[in-house]
């Protein structure tokens, strides 16, 4: 085959492959909560095609054997990327790991430069180990627990207050938590947006408030945080059936 023609054929083939790749949506195992929003926001920001697979955690769908194969910790979010490394499917659980994967895959919102990457990772892990779990405990003891445990409520409200203070100071002289907009901001926004339910007053934290407004004005963030909200309508977290599924879980042996 003539060289020019061979080149053109190779180019056309490559184009076809790209088109094929684009056509394979990422499967998003999801329920509309702050942890779920992290991934819907990232997918929206990157313009990646995805299919929504609801995991109704109030009904125990997180314990379905097929889901546990993807997410052995019986928690959403999780993803399956049919076009993973080497062109083979990959499944990922843990929202932080998913954000990093999507950041590496797309080259977006997760800088390659080591210093900038470390900045992002510090704040991403700070969210994963701090803001998420602590705000989650406030939600539990303040809003869901059938017993009122003042000590527990105050302990977690205070810890979230401390964390918001850290974030507020950090944002005093930078627009986003790691400087430039990144996956760390996406990990935080769904949680900070719940400040009222967490017994906080956002006016105490002017820089954090400014950041939250900036975040919520982004159209991908709006779309990400609106995804599937209708699914959880009418679910009462104090319903004993829901509480039996979600609270008091203990080790499973199989
Ligand atoms: N560290 C996990 C936490 C995920 C998580 O806690 N997900 C909750 C909803 S926000 C869940 O799936 N709960 C189901 C259950 O408690 O059984 C992550 O960031 O992905």
**173 C-alpha to center of ligand 1: Å?**
32
Q: What is the pTM of this model?
A: 0.92
Please check the confidence at residue 213 and state whether its pLDDT lies above 50: yes
Nearest to 186 by CA among 114, 113, 102: 102
User: Cα(217)–Cα(151) distance, rounded to whole angstroms?
Assistant: 36
Q: Are 121 and 103 in contact (CB under 8 A)?
A: no
Per residue in 32-58, pLDDT tens? 999 999 999 999 999 999 999 999 999
Please tell me if the CB atom of residue 33 comes closer than 6 angstroms to any atom of ligand 1.
yes
Query: Phi first, then psi: what are they for 53, rounded to 5°?
Result: -120, 100
Please tell me if the CB atom of residue 200 comes closer than 6 angstroms to any atom of ligand 1.
no
Q: Are 52 and 227 in contact (CB under 8 A)?
A: yes
List C-alpha distances in Å: 1 to 5, 6, 11, 12.
Answer: 7, 6, 14, 15
- Name the residue of 76, 94, 183, 184 whose CB sits within 8 Å of the most ligand 1 atoms, as the mutation to test its pocket: 76
Mean pLDDT across the stretch 47-76?
98
Least confident segment among 11-20, 29-38, 158-167, 239-248: 11-20
Please tell me if the CB atom of residue 76 comes closer than 6 angstroms to any atom of ligand 1.
yes
Least confident segment among 16-25, 42-51, 88-97: 16-25
Nearest atom in ligand 1 to 95's CA: 20
Per residue in 238-252, pLDDT tens? 999 999 999 989 999
Q: Are 224 and 44 in contact (CB under 8 A)?
A: yes
């Amino acid at each position: 085959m003539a060289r020019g023609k061979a080149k053109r054929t190779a180019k056309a083939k490559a184009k076809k492959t790209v088109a094929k790749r684009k056509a394979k949506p990422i499967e998003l195992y999801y329920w509309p909560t702050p942890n779920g929003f992290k991934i819907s926001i990232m997918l929206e920001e990157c313009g990646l095609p995805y299919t929504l697979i609801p995991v109704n955690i109030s009904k125990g769908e997180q314990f379905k054997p097929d889901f546990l194969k993807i997410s052995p910790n019986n928690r959403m979010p999780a993803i399956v990327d049919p076009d993973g490394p080497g062109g083979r499917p990959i499944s990922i659980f843990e929202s932080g790991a998913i954000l990093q994967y999507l950041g590496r895959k797309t080259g977006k919102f997760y800088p390659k430069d080591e210093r900038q990457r470390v900045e992002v990772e510090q704040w991403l892990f700070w969210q994963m180990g701090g803001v998420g779990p602590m705000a989650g405990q406030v939600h539990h003891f303040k809003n869901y627990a059938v017993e009122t445990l003042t000590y527990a409520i105050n302990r977690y409200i205070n810890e979230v207050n401390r964390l918001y203070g850290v974030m507020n100071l950090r944002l005093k002289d930078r627009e986003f938590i790691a400087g430039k907009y990144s996956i760390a901001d996406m990990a935080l926004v769904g949680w900070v947006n719940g400040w009222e339910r967490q017994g906080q007053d956002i006016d105490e934290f002017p820089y954090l408030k400014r950041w939250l407004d900036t975040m919520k004005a982004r159209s991908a963030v709006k779309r990400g945080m609106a995804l599937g909200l209708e699914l959880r309508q009418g679910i009462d977290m104090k319903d004993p059936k829901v509480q039996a599924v979600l609270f008091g879980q203990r080790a499973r042996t199989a």
